[in-house]
């Protein structure tokens, strides 16, 4: 077997399963003949051959060393200009067969018809030393037949956010697509950031995304909506081989159950770290159970189930933090409808869909119990007394502006002896810095918080958990560092002035989110007041 480690770019061998196993757009890639790419409806195909559009001056400004290693590349490769040329879309390596996927989707609850990769172009698929096959995809690489009225490009601000969040989520233990590189293009891209009639030029950039599969729920929906059962079956067979190889090809019900389970588990992860995706359309959920498409995302600062970072969703708040688990189930129902022709029986599909609720609720109960250091042994249900304790805590956190990340991290530092303190104000004092307006808490709120802390102490005693064991367990699941929107925006502001060091600093901080990092306390601070209404910190759009 060939050595898959320490490879140069020339050593990469592309094994393009998606394009080998599924039908291509019958219309040839116009760029092969020098013609312009035109948006159009594509029928009977899973993808279109599409070359990246060259950029003026590709320059690598950040990369993930972990992804370089995952792909089996030599660390020295990133120092070459060829790396910037390839992952900026200017050069293709032998074996690369660039393409854009065809898919549809429900957007904000409404069927949108054909969507597709409007600015993402996959370069091809390689085998890695320890992570199976991985597809390399450029986001912002130019127009495709699915670009509709857009230019296929991406701006620096959104590319920084995608690059950093992909890696931050991975290190948090959340299933996600990865990011290999962030390349500045040297071109300007015009965007209307808030859709308010004020377009302006911004620096362009391209992220190379990496995943075992980029297939979404919407890939199935487009074939089903068009009555194309033959290609629907081909796609499902491919998806099973790639994402669930333990199943026999043709076990569509077993595969759907696996997607249900993976999606439920993903929602537990999102909720436990306070992540809000912002645009959970069916074309933005992957069958692999990995987070995909980092657009108007955010981490909740103060615990607010009703918060959404997406300005487009500000009125209805369909994709707000607390509604994400329900929206995932709604999206799964659309996937079930799409693959119904392959199963031919609604009852078992409905049973698989119904299992989502129990799996999610069980996982969430376990996750919150772990966040307060009282998780039961593996395989055992959360005791009712612990579930009642976590439920009352989540209710409590919504009553006053409380920083979710800081609260849970600090709770692990409070020793059992302190929880017996009789004075209410003294008892809650260690949590003061988790509140955004500690002086505005009412006497009743302080009393309610104190009562909860004393009940918590009693439950610790009942379970016989030591301070050291509880602290260790809680710090393993409660991050100290998350990619707060204001931190990402600070990095963006500096980058737009030509200073990229904060991107690398944040990348390094988020590499160890559960560890104390002396000297980096500023990255674990509450959202500052100036960030409450600042564009990019509290308000984000899909514009990129």
15 is catalytic: no
HSE of 530 in the Cβ direction (CA atoms, 13 Å)? 4
Closest C-alpha to 37, from 103, 128, 98 = 98
Helix (H, G, I), strand (E, B) or coil at 125: strand
d(CA 424, CA 517): 31
Q: Catalytic: which of 283, 301, 304, 403?
A: 283
* Interstrand relation of 298-299 and 275-276 (parallel, antiparallel or unpaired): antiparallel
d(CA 56, CA 51): 16
Burial class of 501 by CB neighbour count within 10 A (0 to 12, 13 to 18, 19+): exposed
If residue 207 lies in a helix (H) or strand (E), which one and from where to where?
A: strand 200-211
> 426-450 b/e with 16+ CB inside 10 Å = b?
ebbebbeebbbebeebeeeebebbb
**Do 204 and 152 touch, CB atoms closer than 8 A?**
no
User: Are the C-beta atoms of 460 and 385 separated by less than 8 Å?
Assistant: no
Distance CA 132, CA 214 (A): 14
| Residue 147 near residue 118 (C-beta atoms within 8 A) | yes
Please tell me what DSSP assigns to residue 288.
T
Residue 25 has phi, psi (to 5 degrees) of -55, 125
Q: What are phi and psi of 348, to 5 degrees?
A: -65, -30
Q: Which of 409, 447, 461, 452 is nearest to 431 (CA)?
A: 409
Catalytic residues: 283
């Amino acid at each position: 077997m060939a050595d898959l480690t320490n490879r140069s770019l020339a050593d990469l061998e592309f094994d393009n399963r998606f394009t080998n196993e599924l039908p291509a757009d019958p219309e040839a890639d116009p760029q092969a003949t020098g013609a312009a790419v035109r948006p159009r409806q594509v029928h009977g195909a899973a993808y279109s051959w599409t070359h990246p559009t060259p950029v003026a001056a590709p320059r690598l400004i950040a990369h993930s060393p972990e992804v370089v290693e995952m792909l089996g590349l030599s660390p020295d490769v990133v120092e070459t200009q060829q790396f910037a040329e390839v992952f900026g879309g200017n050069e293709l390596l032998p074996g690369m067969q660039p393409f854009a996927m065809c898919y549809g989707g429900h957007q904000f609850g409404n069927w949108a018809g054909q969507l597709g990769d409007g600015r993402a172009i996959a370069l091809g698929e390689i085998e890695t030393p320890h992570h199976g096959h991985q597809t390399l995809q450029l986001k912002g690489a130019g127009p495709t037949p699915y670009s509709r009225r857009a230019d296929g490009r991406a701006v620096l601000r959104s590319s920084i956010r995608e690059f950093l969040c992909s890696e931050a989520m991975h290190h948090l233990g959340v299933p996600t697509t990865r990011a290999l590189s962030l390349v500045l293009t040297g071109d300007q891209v015009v965007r209307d950031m808030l859709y308010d009639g004020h377009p302006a030029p911004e620096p362009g950039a391209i992220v190379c995304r990496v995943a075992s599969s980029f297939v979404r729920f919407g890939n199935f929906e487009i074939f089903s909506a068009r009555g194309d059962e033959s290609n629907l079956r081909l796609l499902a067979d491919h998806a099973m081989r790639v994402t669930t190889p333990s199943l026999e090809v043709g076990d569509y019900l077993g595969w759907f159950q696996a997607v249900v389970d993976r999606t439920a588990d993903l929602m537990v992860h999102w909720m436990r770290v306070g992540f809000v995706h912002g645009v959970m359309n069916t074309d933005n959920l992957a069958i692999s159970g990995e987070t995909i498409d980092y657009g108007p995302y955010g981490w909740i600062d103060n615990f607010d189930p009703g918060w959404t970072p997406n300005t487009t969703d500000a009125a209805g708040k369909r994709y707000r933090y607390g509604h994400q688990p329900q929206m995932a189930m709604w999206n799964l129902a659309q996937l079930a409808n799409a693959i119904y022709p392959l199963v031919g029986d609604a009852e078992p599909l409905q049973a698989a869909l119904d299992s989502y609720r129990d799996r999610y609720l069980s996982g969430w109960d376990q996750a919150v119990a772990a966040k307060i250091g009282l998780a039961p042994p593996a395989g055992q249900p959360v005791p009712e007394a612990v579930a009642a304790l976590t439920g009352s805590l989540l209710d409590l956190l919504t009553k006053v502006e409380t920083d979710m990340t800081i609260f849970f991290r600090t709770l692990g530092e409070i020793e059992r002896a302190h929880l017996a303190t009789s004075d209410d104000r003294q008892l809650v004092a260690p949590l003061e810095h988790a509140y955004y307006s500690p002086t505005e808490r009412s006497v009743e709120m302080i009393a309610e918080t104190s009562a909860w802390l004393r009940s918590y102490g009693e439950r610790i005693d009942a379970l016989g958990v030591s301070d050291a064991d509880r602290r260790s367990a809680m710090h393993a699941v409660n991050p100290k560092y998350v990619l707060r929107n204001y931190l990402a925006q600070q990095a963006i502001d500096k980058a737009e002035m030509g200073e990229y060091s904060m991107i690398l600093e944040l990348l390094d901080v988020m590499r160890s989110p559960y560890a104390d990092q002396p000297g980096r306390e500023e990255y674990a601070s509450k959202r500052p007041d100036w960030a409450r209404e600042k564009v990019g910190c509290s308000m984000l759009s899909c514009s990129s």
